[in-house]
Chain A
């Protein structure tokens, strides 16, 4: 590489440039396609349209939270408090809607809980940038605090939802579930934010190298705060979605029993090609990562794989994804 002459005219084709930017995305979608094809051929239950929409619907919660996680990882961090944030929003929302069901009360609640999400992200970011705590530890601690608050409020599943609230999860627009369209819109907006605005450019730059970005005049502390606030906002949104889906509030929804959203969202993002440590990646890859995680879960359930084996396989996939990308990384250098 170093011997390539400078003066030499160098035309990189459009195709090559696209490949440069999107190679990981192309690879990950090929893998997704492969998994889906194999499952569709081997499992008649899998290719049933009802099941397909089920997979998509189940993927929405993970999808929303992973869109946020993508941004946190892209800025060079990680967010281990998303699971607890989800739980907190779920129990507060279900608890609130048990008492108040007027539409304007519910609207106020939505605004309040989304603001709570922003606040959590803001605190995370400031602990990281000003108190200089590693993102891993900062958000792990925040997650513990939030989970404590959840259990303080609700010891066991309970609460209720307002009439009409179930539309968020159960509504249909034509043949397509509303939540799938909602997630699609969210992905599109995030994609534009990351790829087409100065905000996204600076997030990637900060993740690529905080020092270089700062020396170039990027206010990296502020950018980091935006990224974590966005991530927690998405987690809060996931919580709202889950109350709609379950019709109640389960204090352990985000953490222990159902999805383990911390682990799953990080797995989805990293499988999707966003680089741990930041600077490279995006939501398009994350969508594929989410679908791979959801499709695999669905296949395991259809085949009847034990939950504990599923855990082991998930862990292995996460480690493999990171290992493959980092080996690839060092080969490039």
Chain B
């Protein structure tokens, strides 16, 4: 296999940070090269250098042994490098072929478009990926994985020889993921190099030929996947083994803090009994669409219950809306913290203080001094690592953003906290910190409900696990006895009857 891309001695600094320090990376024809590392380890910076978004301060990039410079993404594309970002760069109100050939349309005379020719080319490209979708279909009619295929088709149309995929699996599950892998294998066969950035280790063992681990702007090492096992890969990433990452369980579960009976939400969600005790972390597992998030939303009052009785600390209440839930000291950390949990563009202090502003104002004027003090205490409690409390939350890593959300809730003194995918999109090291914080909260006597798609997290963190399938709780397991296989079995219970 020929080497396509070589990067030697690459250094890139941003104001105040050395993002990459003397990094060497190479990738060969027809290989899938996984790139892993915590957030901020430098993998995105490296990829953006390769895609022409940034230019290196030092070091050289060679393609086919030839020294090149790429001043823009456009030039990188011309050199055969395409990047597919997590946020897909596609226009929803245009067709597949219009998207694929945007900026490179087939034209007849006088600027008139030749859509027939373009559609035909797009159909061919999709065909090469083994997809049979009409290229005239509007993009917004496609599912996220289908849209990803359009991006890949676009890369093919640019005659890409290197395709960089930035966490392509973040929005995919099960069958769609298998399909993505199939397409990646197709690309491989055509001699295209795929650089695959991911947080999920399973995927790397399934699809990658080699893996390069980044840490703190350095390359820890590049290995053939066949020569490495999961624990050693994790050790390379975080410098300790994974099982140590979970805090020890506590055994004491106190009085009931939440009891739900006969819950009905919509037409599908039916929960006969659910109990959370003080000092307990209760995990909820299930596939996407099993009703996990709907359950959490019902408990927080953002989704209407058709029926059901709810007791909070023994008192029967009607969860009409989130304000009622908050008055009864229930907190909810949503799945999408960037859209629903934080005001990006505002500072740590402003974000943290937001929900409790009315407690610290006098005649509508915010008392800045107490605000600062309260925020300081709360952010110290969650061990926030931010340059300062006046930093924009947008500049923080995923883990620290989650800490800001948590700090925000802690100020209101909640007794029951619902965590929806608490560590999604957070790097391994910060995950361990969030887990530690969650366990601390439980030990303080709070009740925690944790929804998670990651089996390892469910099994490693929960004292008790409820497994859901198609809107119904199909099993309850003790956390210290549950295994990933057992939970998965329950979650897919009934799968054979069709989904």
Q: Which residues of A contact B (CB under 8 A)?
A: 1-7, 9-12, 17, 20-21, 196-199, 201-202, 204-205, 208-209, 211-213, 215-218, 275, 279-280, 332
- Please tell me which one of the listed residues A1, A209, A215 contacts residue B74 in the complex, with CB atoms under 8 A apart: A215
A218 contacts which chain B residues (CB < 8 A)?
A: 102-103
B94 at the A/B interface (Cβ < 8 Å)? yes
- Please tell me which one of the listed residues A9, A10, A17, A196 contacts residue B112 in the complex, with CB atoms under 8 A apart: A196
Q: Do the beta carbons of A213 and B132 come within 8 Å of each other?
A: no
Q: Do the beta carbons of A4 and B134 come within 8 Å of each other?
A: no
A211 contacts which chain B residues (CB < 8 A)?
A: 89
* Given the contacts A2-B145, A6-B145, A7-B130, A197 and B93 also touching, CB distance less than 8 Å: no
Which residue in chain A gives the minimum CB-CB distance to B74? A217
Give Cα A197–Cα B112 distance, bound, in whole angstroms: 4
Q: Do the beta carbons of B112 and A5 come within 8 Å of each other?
A: no
Q: Do the beta carbons of B90 and A204 come within 8 Å of each other?
A: no
Give Cα A71–Cα B143 distance, bound, in whole angstroms: 30
B91 contacts which chain A residues (CB < 8 A)?
A: 204-205, 208-209, 212-213, 279
Q: Do the beta carbons of A6 and B137 come within 8 Å of each other?
A: no
- Please tell me which one of the listed residues B89, B113, B138, B179 contacts residue A201 in the complex, with CB atoms under 8 A apart: B113
Among A20, A198, A279, A332, chain B packs the most CB atoms within 10 A around the CB of A198
B140 at the A/B interface (Cβ < 8 Å)? yes
Give Cα A176–Cα B145 distance, bound, in whole angstroms: 53
**New contact pairs (16) apart from A10-B133, A198-B105, CB-CB < 8 Å:** A1-B143, A2-B143, A2-B144, A6-B146, A10-B132, A10-B134, A198-B112, A199-B111, A204-B91, A205-B91, A209-B91, A212-B91, A216-B104, A217-B74, A217-B104, A280-B93
* Given the contacts A6-B149, A6-B179, A205 and B102 also touching, CB distance less than 8 Å: yes
Which residue in chain A gives the minimum CB-CB distance to B110? A197
A-B contact pairs, 28 of them (CB 8 A): A1-B143, A2-B144, A2-B288, A4-B143, A4-B146, A5-B179, A6-B145, A7-B131, A10-B137, A11-B134, A12-B136, A12-B137, A12-B141, A17-B134, A20-B141, A198-B107, A199-B111, A201-B113, A204-B93, A204-B94, A205-B94, A208-B91, A208-B94, A213-B103, A217-B103, A275-B93, A280-B93, A332-B140
Give Cα A66–Cα B398 distance, bound, in whole angstroms: 46
Give Cα A275–Cα B73 distance, bound, in whole angstroms: 29
B475 at the A/B interface (Cβ < 8 Å)? no
Q: Do the beta carbons of A9 and B137 come within 8 Å of each other?
A: no
Q: Do the beta carbons of B89 and A212 come within 8 Å of each other?
A: yes
Q: Do the beta carbons of B136 and A17 come within 8 Å of each other?
A: yes
* Given the contacts A6-B146, A12-B141, A198-B113, A215 and B94 also touching, CB distance less than 8 Å: no
B254 at the A/B interface (Cβ < 8 Å)? no
B266 at the A/B interface (Cβ < 8 Å)? no
A275 contacts which chain B residues (CB < 8 A)?
A: 93
Q: Which of B60-116 contact A (CB under 8 A)?
A: 73-74, 89-94, 98, 102-105, 107, 110-113
Q: Which of B116-142 contact A (CB under 8 A)?
A: 130-134, 136-138, 140-141
Q: Do the beta carbons of A9 and B113 come within 8 Å of each other?
A: no
Give Cα A2–Cα B179 distance, bound, in whole angstroms: 13
Give Cα A1–Cα B142 distance, bound, in whole angstroms: 8
Which residue in chain A gives the minimum CB-CB distance to B90? A212
B239 at the A/B interface (Cβ < 8 Å)? no
A2 contacts which chain B residues (CB < 8 A)?
A: 143-145, 171, 176, 288
Which residue in chain A gives the minimum CB-CB distance to B179? A6
Q: Do the beta carbons of A197 and B113 come within 8 Å of each other?
A: yes
Chain B 10-42, CB-CB to A under 8 Å as 1, else 0, gives 000000000000000000000000000000000
Q: How far apart are B141's CB and chain A's nearest CB, in angstroms?
A: 7
Q: How far apart are A114's CB and chain B's nearest CB, in angstroms?
A: 21
A17 contacts which chain B residues (CB < 8 A)?
A: 134, 136-138
* Given the contacts A209-B91, A215-B89, A9 and B132 also touching, CB distance less than 8 Å: yes
Q: How far apart are B91's CB and chain A's nearest CB, in angstroms?
A: 4
Which residue in chain B gives the minimum CB-CB distance to A219? B103
B138 contacts which chain A residues (CB < 8 A)?
A: 17, 20-21
Give Cα A208–Cα B145 distance, bound, in whole angstroms: 21
Give Cα A202–Cα B98 distance, bound, in whole angstroms: 10
A216 contacts which chain B residues (CB < 8 A)?
A: 89, 102-104
B102 contacts which chain A residues (CB < 8 A)?
A: 201, 205, 212-213, 216-218
Q: Do the beta carbons of B134 and A12 come within 8 Å of each other?
A: yes
Which residue in chain B gives the minimum CB-CB distance to A217? B103
B289 at the A/B interface (Cβ < 8 Å)? yes
- Please tell me which one of the listed residues B73, B143, B179 contacts residue A3 in the complex, with CB atoms under 8 A apart: B143
Chain B 467-499, CB-CB to A under 8 Å as 1, else 0, gives 000000000000000000000000000000001
B327 contacts which chain A residues (CB < 8 A)?
A: none
Q: How far apart are B350's CB and chain A's nearest CB, in angstroms?
A: 24
A202 contacts which chain B residues (CB < 8 A)?
A: 103
- Please tell me which one of the listed residues A4, A197, A212, A280 contacts residue B111 in the complex, with CB atoms under 8 A apart: A197
Give Cα A217–Cα B133 distance, bound, in whole angstroms: 26
Give Cα A213–Cα B136 distance, bound, in whole angstroms: 19
A5 contacts which chain B residues (CB < 8 A)?
A: 175-176, 179
Give Cα A50–Cα B133 distance, bound, in whole angstroms: 52
- Please tell me which one of the listed residues A3, A7, A280, A332 contacts residue B289 in the complex, with CB atoms under 8 A apart: A3
Which residue in chain B gives the minimum CB-CB distance to A17? B136
B131 contacts which chain A residues (CB < 8 A)?
A: 6-7
